[in-house]
């Protein structure tokens, strides 16, 4: 949940797990202060874990858009759950100490604990998040904790000093189980209510995929698409972004009078870049590689999106591949090294989300651009969306240095997109080239373009002083400095 609403998954996972383990240590230390009614305290702890941990996802999701001290609540919940979990194992070992030899007791309890950790760590990415989502999955795990507590009142009934206490804990356990069950049944309502607070426009579509949360909103000025809470486009001005993303690359190719037959789009599962590519009748093949099949399915079937992308997915020239772009490029590179014939691409459109996490940041590294370079034809051109040179100036020029370090020759340009502000891109090729000054003579009539013309194209390669080059470090796979820089720069504007 922290990585979903705050971004930077590595930082969130590290800090949450660190605080959790620290709190477990505190809980283990506190356990020595408990001297009586060990079994009752153990079951009560399990019930508390069920209630607080099971409902934590919903509480955090509801609180994020409403309170300024979200991180205090986040780490407070992590600490409390860790403290309670840290109590469990010492209490359980003391309860069972008369039933087993010490060495057998330690091995059995810790073995069960570690095996449980393995099962949970596998269930989280493979089942809980993709099938249930974070909030419903949290309620389900909490219900499992409540059932464990109820089961212990029967399995360990001889260890209770007072039978009435066991019955009272059973009542508490069932109440918590039913509360969490009600929360699970109402998860969709909780999510809808919380997301309504996050977005300024009414939500018209929402879906949790194994990779991300898709949300579409609609207002007076059109509709918007969000991925994990980050705006991807607004329908009323996305044409500025996508025309700038596609047409300068074709203009650069036209300078060399080279045919543009095969085009690759990495990312861009909404089909809007493909819409612009279709305006070039000479293109024979369009390949689209996007990780999430839910995005390409949405773009293919949703009425709002199909109208906007002009039914791009119905084009017989289009081939859609749902795979991680870096893995796909690596596989093609390996096939090429093995001597297999690998078709090269005349134009590559690289349209990934901003590098706000390390999972996305790898797609802006020297390693990734080297793989992309291998897939680019000798006279081909690639274009990279590269965040804002105004709001994230150092990030923008870090991408420039990364392209340079990959033995590519980049050319920087920018356009104004009202939804995002000044937005930057790079053209890049195997060799040096002059920035294009005229649109391709082989394109479709100017009437089909709403924003880009020759004057706009020429001005796009001119930078004001406050957006010009600054010294930056290349972004490499083993350090990903770009993710850290990006997070620091954009945090000033949020």
- CATH number at 220 reads 2.30.140.10
Question: How many structural domains comprise the chain?
Answer: 3
Q: Please give the mean pLDDT across all residues of the chain.
A: 90
Does residue 414 sit in the same domain as residue 370? yes
Last residue of a domain, one of 213, 233, 253: 233
- Crossing angle for the helix pair 9-30 and 70-95, to the nearest 10 degrees: 40
Residue keyed to tokens 């279709």: 278
**Secondary structure class of 262 (helix, strand, coil):** strand
Query: Residue 246's domain is classified under what CATH number?
Result: 3.40.50.150
Q: Is the domain of 161 the same as that of 306?
A: no
Q: Which residues are catalytic?
A: 351
User: Residue 471 phi/psi, 5° resolution?
Assistant: -70, 130
| Residues 229 and 240 reside in one and the same domain | no
Q: Given the structure tokens 């879906």, which residue do they identify?
A: 207
Same-domain status, 45 and 66: yes
- 3-class secondary structure for 164-189? HHHHHHHHHHHHHHHHHHHHHHCHHH
Residue 369 and residue 416 in one domain: yes
Residues 186, 269: one domain? no
Other beta carbons within 10 angstroms of residue 68's beta carbon come to: 6
| Residue whose structure tokens are 């999955």 | 137
Q: Which residues have CB under 8 Å from 475's CB, separation 6+?
A: 355, 361, 364, 365, 366, 398, 399, 401, 402, 481, 482
Question: What own/partner pairs with CB < 8 Å and gap ≥ 24 does 402-409 have?
Answer: 402/364, 402/365, 402/366, 402/369, 402/474, 402/475, 402/476, 402/482, 403/369, 403/428, 404/474, 405/366, 405/474, 405/476, 406/366, 406/369, 406/370, 406/373, 407/370, 407/373, 408/369, 408/373, 408/382, 409/433
Same domain, 210 and 278: no
Tell me, rounded to whole angstroms, the distance of Cα 493 from its chain centroid. 20
- In which element (H, E) is residue 233 found? strand 230-234
HSE-CB at 329 with a 13 A cutoff on CA atoms is 26
Residue 95 CB neighbour total at 10 angstroms: 16
- 212 and 319 together in one domain: no
Per-residue pLDDT tens for 466-487?
999 999 999 999 888 999 899 8
- Nearest partner of 95 among 176, 161, 165, judged by Cα: 161
Same-domain pairing of 134 and 274? no
Is there a single domain that holds both residue 315 and residue 441?
A: yes
User: How many other CB atoms are found less than 10 A from the CB of residue 168?
Assistant: 14
Per-residue tens of pLDDT for the chain, all 494 residues = 787 777 667 788 889 999 999 999 999 999 989 888 888 889 999 999 999 999 998 998 888 878 888 899 999 999 999 999 999 889 888 888 878 888 888 888 889 888 988 998 888 878 887 788 888 889 999 999 999 999 988 888 777 877 788 889 999 999 999 999 999 999 888 888 877 777 878 889 988 887 888 999 998 889 999 988 888 999 999 999 999 999 999 999 887 777 788 999 999 999 999 999 999 988 999 999 999 999 999 999 999 999 999 999 999 999 999 999 999 999 999 988 888 888 899 999 999 999 988 889 999 999 999 999 999 999 999 999 999 999 999 999 999 999 999 999 999 999 999 999 999 999 999 999 999 998 876 555 555 889 999 999 999 999 999 999 999 999 999 888 999 899 889 878 76
Q: CA triplet 321, 324, 327: central angle to 5 degrees?
A: 105
DSSP state of 161: S
Which residue range forms the structural domain that includes residue 220? 201-233
DSSP 216: E
Same domain, 306 and 347: yes
d(CA 59, CA 56): 5
Question: Alpha helices of 261-365 — where are they, by DSSP H?
Answer: 272-277, 293-301, 303-308, 325-337, 358-361
Extract the runs of DSSP E, i.e. beta strands, from 297-430.
318-321, 345-351, 376-385, 409-417, 421-429
Q: Are 174 and 89 in contact (CB under 8 A)?
A: no
CA dist., res. 50 & res. 457, Å (int): 59
Residues 110, 112, 118, 123, Cα dihedral to 10°: -140
Enter the tokens of residue 312.
Answer: 């791009």
Report how far residue 428's alpha carbon sits from residue 380's, in angstroms, rounded to the nearest whole number: 9
Asked if 387 and 414 sit in the same domain, the reply is yes
Domain boundary among 233, 255, 288: 233
Q: Which residues, at least 6 apart from 464, have a Cβ–Cβ distance to it below 8 Å?
A: none
454/134 Cα distance (integer angstroms): 48
Write the pLDDT tens digit of every residue in 239-253: 999 999 999 999 998
Share of the chain above pLDDT 70, in %: 98
Q: In this predicted structure, what is the pLDDT of residue 451?
A: 93
């Amino acid at each position: 949940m922290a990585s979903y609403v705050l971004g930077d998954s590595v930082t969130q996972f590290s800090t949450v797990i660190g605080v959790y383990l620290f709190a477990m240590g505190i809980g283990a230390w506190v356990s020595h202060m408990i001297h009586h009614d060990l079994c009752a305290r153990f079951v009560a702890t399990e019930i508390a874990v069920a209630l607080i941990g099971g409902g934590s996802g919903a509480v955090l999701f509801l609180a994020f858009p409403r309170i300024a001290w979200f991180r205090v609540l986040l780490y407070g919940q992590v600490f409390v759950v860790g403290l309670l979990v840290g109590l469990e194992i010492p209490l359980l070992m003391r309860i069972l100490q008369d039933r087993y030899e010490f060495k057998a007791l330690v091995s059995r309890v810790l073995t069960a604990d570690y095996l449980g950790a393995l099962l949970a760590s596998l269930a989280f990415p493979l089942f809980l998040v993709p099938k249930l989502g974070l909030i419903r999955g949290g309620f389900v795990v909490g219900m499992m904790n409540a059932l464990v507590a109820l089961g212990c009142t029967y399995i360990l009934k001889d260890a209770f000093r007072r039978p009435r206490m066991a019955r009272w804990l059973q009542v508490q356990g069932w109440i918590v189980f039913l509360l969490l069950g009600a929360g699970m049944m109402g998860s969709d309502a909780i999510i809808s209510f919380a997301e309504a607070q996050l977005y300024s426009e009414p939500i018209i579509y929402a879906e949790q995929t194994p990779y991300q949360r898709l949300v579409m909103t609609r207002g007076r000025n059109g509709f918007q698409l969000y991925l994990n809470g980050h705006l991807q486009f607004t329908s009323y001005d996305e044409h500025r972004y996508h025309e700038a993303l596609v047409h300068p690359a074709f203009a650069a190719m036209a300078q060399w009078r080279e045919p543009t037959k095969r085009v690759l789009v990495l990312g861009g599962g909404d089909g809007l870049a493909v819409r612009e590519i279709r305006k070039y009748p000479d293109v024979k093949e369009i390949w689209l590689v996007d990780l999430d099949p839910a995005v390409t399915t949405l773009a293919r079937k949703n009425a709002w999106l199909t109208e906007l992308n002009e039914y791009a997915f119905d084009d017989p020239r289009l081939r859609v591949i749902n795979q991680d772009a870096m893995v796909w490029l690596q596989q093609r590179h390996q096939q090429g090294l093995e001597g297999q014939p690998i078709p090269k691409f005349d134009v590559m459109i690289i349209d990934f989300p901003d590098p706000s996490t390390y999972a996305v940041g790898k797609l802006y590294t020297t390693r990734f651009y080297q793989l992309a370079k291998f897939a680019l034809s000798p006279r081909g051109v690639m274009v990279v969306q590269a965040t804002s040179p105004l709001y994230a100036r150092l990030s923008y020029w870090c991408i420039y240095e990364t392209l340079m370090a990959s033995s590519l020759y980049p050319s920087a340009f920018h356009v104004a997109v009202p939804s995002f502000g000044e937005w930057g891109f790079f053209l890049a090729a195997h060799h040096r080239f002059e920035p294009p000054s005229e649109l391709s003579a082989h394109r479709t009539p100017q009437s089909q373009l709403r924003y880009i013309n020759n004057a706009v194209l020429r001005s796009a390669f001119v930078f004001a002083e406050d957006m010009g080059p600054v010294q930056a470090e290349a972004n490499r796979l083993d350090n990903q400095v770009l993710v850290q820089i990006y997070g620091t720069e954009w945090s000033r504007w949020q």
